[in-house]
Every structure is written in C-alpha cells, then in structure tokens.
Amino acid sequence: MKKTIDIIKQKRTVPPGVKEGVKMFNKLKKEIFKVLKEKEMTILEIANEINADVDSITFNLMTCLKFGTIEVGKLDDNDEYYYYKLKNR
C-alpha cells in the first residue's frame, strides 16, 4: 500500500522553471554568504563583488533577513546604505 504523500508526489510535479529559479536563488545565496564571511558589505558592494544585479541581491538579502541568517549592521558614512552581515551563530 502506498502512502498518501507518495501518491501526491507522483501527481504533482514541480515545473522546470521553478526548479531552475530555486537553484539560482541557492547559488546566489551561497555567493552572498561567502563574501559576507569576510566583512560587512552594502548591497551595492555585494553586487559588485559577485557581479550580480542589485535587484537579485536585494531580494536574496531580504529573504535571508526574514529567516534570520543575515542581520543589518550600521549605516555607511553618508547615511545612505546599510551594511549587512552574517548573523552570529
């Protein structure tokens, strides 16, 4: 006898576009964590460091902030941009 979850998994598949989006999100998140291990950075600094667009970095950082893996640091000298850092674990 099959379990209900096995039957549901067979009937409901994840579209390839969604799978690809998750892969890209996770790859970018790893790159962000890698550069933030070294020092605190602003969104623009992170984008320049890993050669990614600011919108993608912002989305990833806000998601990580929501789930508690990133935290907001201080403001820059011009009071324009926040620095982000890995949350102490």
Domains along the chain with CATH numbers: 16-86 (1.10.10.10)
Helix (H) or strand (E) holding 7: helix 4-11
Q: Beta-carbon neighbour count of residue 86 at 10 Å?
A: 14
The phi, psi pair for 41, rounded to 5°, reads: -145, 155
Q: Backbone dihedral region of 15: left (phi > 0), alpha (psi from -120 to 50 degrees) or beta?
A: beta
pLDDT in tens, 28-64: 999 999 999 989 999 999 999 999 999 999 999 999 9
Of residues 88 and 30, more confidently modeled: 30
pTM over 0.85: no
Q: Taking a C-beta distance cutoff of 8 angstroms, is the pair 29, 64 a contact? A: yes
